[in-house]
């Protein structure tokens, strides 16, 4: 038996002990791989929206990787803790630090290798299911066909091999600190009773309540401002929920003998406190990991519906031709004629509407304003399915454009529009939100006589 055989036998003959660690590793590989499959999908390669989806997925991927790291690290820590006595025995028989590191590293790489292969394998089997889920969830119009995700496989394999290698290095420092007697005695050492602080438990409840409360309450632009404080509150709250509040509640339950001393409750409650405390970090990581994954998908769905909404709303007309001052009438007519020709050639039914927006210099304002005649506006508004109106002779209406993405408000216009050029004085009687002219923040609709 050489040293290498010894390390291999240790894993292969002790599958059950290693199984828990193996499966938790394979699970995180699978989560990572599934995201990579989606992010690298050729169906998502082109188009502005799609590249955003892919960027979002890669970002989520990075977060998943970081949390996978901690997840595997803690699984490894728990796994090694259960084997302390074994390590103590080996050291007692003269195993050097280096040999111990080598053994743990070989084991870790062996498990890591198979966990990566296994995780990718399970991921491949589930691939089509996940793609179907993504199609429906993100309301993608095109279907995402099954493909052999070579890139995703490569990325996952490389990423996790590096991860397991780095974790091998970490684990050695976990072991190094403890002396031989601690290693040998670790299995018989009684565990101290888990304790919870009342204040921290209260804090956990308060943070979670406040965090989710704010998240449910905020509307509009406040969402962006609340994002980071709410995330921090919820993350801290979640951590204390598992490490403090859960233990605290179990202890509270134990105090009530009528409940605690009833049948199996006695065992359940006394075990639960230990289990909670032992696994608090894992629970915390899994909770945050799944939250990140769900939020990433949720945000993508949100962005998608928002972009589609803006695109269709802000472009009520299928085609626009714009001509600016300085362009000769003839050229303009030539262009419009060409467009008509093409449309007719292709047999497309169309309506042709014209809007003439003019700059006017109002008295008492440094900047010129944009004005449009009421009849032209009404023709456009009618075609776009918007409200039409007929301003009186001395009346104007302010149309302002509010960008749904940034919600900038530009409804503060002039109260009185005095146009010396047209020798007209108009009361701005109404102002309303309109996306008919997204190029301009403010447009005034004035009586036809003023612009004639």
Partner 1 sequence: MDMLRIERVSKVYGGQVAHRALNDVSFAIQEGEFVGIMGPSGSGKTTLLNVAAAIDKPSGGQVWINGKDPYRLGKNELARFRRRELGFIFQDFNLLNTLTVEENIVLPLTLDGARVKVMEERAARLAKRLGIEAIMKKRTYEISGGQAQRTAIARAIIHQPKLLFADEPTGNLDSKSSRDVMELLEAINRTDGTTMMLVTHDPLAASYCHRVIFIKDGQIYNEIHRGSNRQAFFQKIIDVLSLLGGNAHDLSTIRV
Reported as half-sphere exposure (CB side, CA atoms, 13 A), residue 290 has a value of 7
d(CA 383, CA 340): 18
Cα 90 to the chain's mean position, in Å? 47
Instruction: Spell out the alpha helix ranges (H) of 315-442.
Output: 329-345, 374-384
Cα 451 to the chain's mean position, in Å? 50
Instruction: Spell out the alpha helix ranges (H) of 43-189.
Output: 48-81, 84-92, 97-137, 150-176, 180-185
> Quick one: 14 or 256, whose CB is closer to partner 1?
14
Does position 19 interact with partner 1 (CB under 8 A)? The reply is no
| Tokens found for residue 436 | 């008919």
| Residue of 1, 328, 354, 406 that binds partner 1 (CB under 8 A) | 1
d(CA 35, CA 40): 9
Binding window for partner 1 (CB under 8 A); candidates: 94-102, 210-218, 237-245, 435-443: 94-102
Contacts with partner 1 in 99-128 (CB under 8 A)? 99
> Quick one: 91 or 196, whose CB is closer to partner 1?
91
Binding window for partner 1 (CB under 8 A); candidates: 90-98, 194-202, 297-305, 430-438: 90-98
Nearest distance in Å: CB 65, partner 1: 32
Q: What is the DSSP string of 285-329?
A: HHHHHHHHHHHHHHHHHHHHHHHHHHHHHH--SS------TTS-H
Does position 86 interact with partner 1 (CB under 8 A)? The reply is yes
| Tokens found for residue 307 | 């972009």
Contacts with partner 1 in 176-215 (CB under 8 A)? 179-181, 184
Does position 94 interact with partner 1 (CB under 8 A)? The reply is yes
Binding window for partner 1 (CB under 8 A); candidates: 115-123, 150-158, 173-181, 443-451: 173-181
Say how many residues touch partner 1, by CB under 8 A: 24
| Tokens found for residue 118 | 């296994």
Q: Which class for 399: exposed (0-12), middle (13-18), buried (19 or more C-beta within 10 A)?
A: buried
> Quick one: 91 or 424, whose CB is closer to partner 1?
91
The 3-state DSSP class for residue 110 equals: helix
> Quick one: 90 or 245, whose CB is closer to partner 1?
90
| Tokens found for residue 68 | 């996978």
Instruction: Spell out the alpha helix ranges (H) of 15-47.
Output: 15-39
| Residue of 81, 97, 166, 270 that binds partner 1 (CB under 8 A) | 97
Does position 95 interact with partner 1 (CB under 8 A)? The reply is yes
Strand partners, 446: 373
Does position 375 interact with partner 1 (CB under 8 A)? The reply is no
Binding window for partner 1 (CB under 8 A); candidates: 35-43, 84-92, 150-158, 394-402: 84-92
Nearest distance in Å: CB 8, partner 1: 10
Does position 91 interact with partner 1 (CB under 8 A)? The reply is yes
Does position 89 interact with partner 1 (CB under 8 A)? The reply is yes
> Quick one: 189 or 329, whose CB is closer to partner 1?
189
Given the rule CB under 8 A, which residues bind partner 1? Answer: 1-3, 6, 9-10, 13-14, 86, 89-99, 179-181, 184
């Amino acid at each position: 038996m050489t040293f290498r055989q010894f390390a291999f036998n240790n894993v292969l003959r002790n599958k059950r002990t290693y199984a828990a660690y193996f499966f938790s590793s394979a699970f995180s590989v699978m989560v990572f791989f599934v995201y990579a499959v989606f992010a690298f999908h050729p169906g998502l390669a082109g188009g502005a929206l799609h590249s955003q989806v892919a960027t979002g997925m890669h970002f989520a991927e990075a977060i998943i990787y970081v949390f996978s790291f901690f997840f595997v690290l803690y699984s490894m820590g728990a796994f090694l803790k259960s084997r302390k006595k074994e390590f103590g025995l080996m050291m007692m028989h003269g195993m050097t630090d280096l040999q111990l590191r080598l053994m743990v590293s070989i084991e870790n790489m062996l498990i890591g290798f198979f966990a990566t292969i296994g995780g990718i394998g399970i991921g491949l089997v589930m691939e089509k299911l996940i793609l179907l889920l993504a199609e429906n969830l993100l309301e993608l119009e095109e279907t995402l066909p099954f493909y052999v995700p070579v890139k995703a496989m490569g990325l996952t394999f490389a990423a996790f091999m590096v991860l397991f290698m780095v974790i091998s290095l970490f684990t050695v420092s976990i072991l190094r600190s403890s002396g031989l007697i601690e290693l040998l005695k670790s299995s018989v050492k009684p565990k101290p009773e888990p304790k919870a602080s009342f204040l921290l438990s209260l804090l956990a409840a308060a943070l979670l309540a406040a965090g989710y409360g704010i998240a449910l309450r905020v509307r509009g632009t406040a969402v962006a401002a609340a994002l980071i404080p709410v995330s921090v509150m919820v993350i801290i709250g979640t951590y204390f929920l598992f490490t403090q509040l859960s233990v605290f509640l179990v202890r509270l339950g134990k105090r009530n003998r009528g409940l605690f001393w009833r049948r199996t409750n006695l065992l359940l409650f006394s075990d639960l406190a230990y289990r909670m405390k032992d696994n608090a970090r894992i629970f915390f990581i899994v909770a945050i990991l799944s939250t990140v994954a769900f939020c990433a998908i949720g945000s993508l769905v949100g962005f998608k519906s928002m972009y589609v909404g803006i695109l269709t709303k802000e472009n009520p007309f299928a085609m626009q031709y714009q001509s600016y001052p300085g362009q000769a009438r003839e050229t303009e007519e030539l262009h419009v004629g060409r467009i008509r020709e093409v449309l007719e050639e292709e047999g497309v039914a169309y309506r042709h509407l014209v809007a003439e927006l003019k700059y006017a210099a109002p008295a008492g304002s440094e900047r010129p304003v944009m004005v449009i005649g009421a009849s032209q506006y009404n023709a456009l508004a009618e075609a776009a399915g918007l409200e039409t109106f007929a301003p009186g002779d001395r009346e104007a209406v302010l149309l302002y454009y509010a960008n749904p993405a940034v919600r900038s408000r530009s409804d503060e216009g002039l109260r009185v529009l005095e146009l010396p050029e047209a020798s007209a004085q108009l009361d701005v009687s109404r102002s309303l939100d309109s996306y008919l002219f997204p190029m301009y923040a403010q447009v005034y609709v004035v009586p036809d006589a003023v612009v004639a």
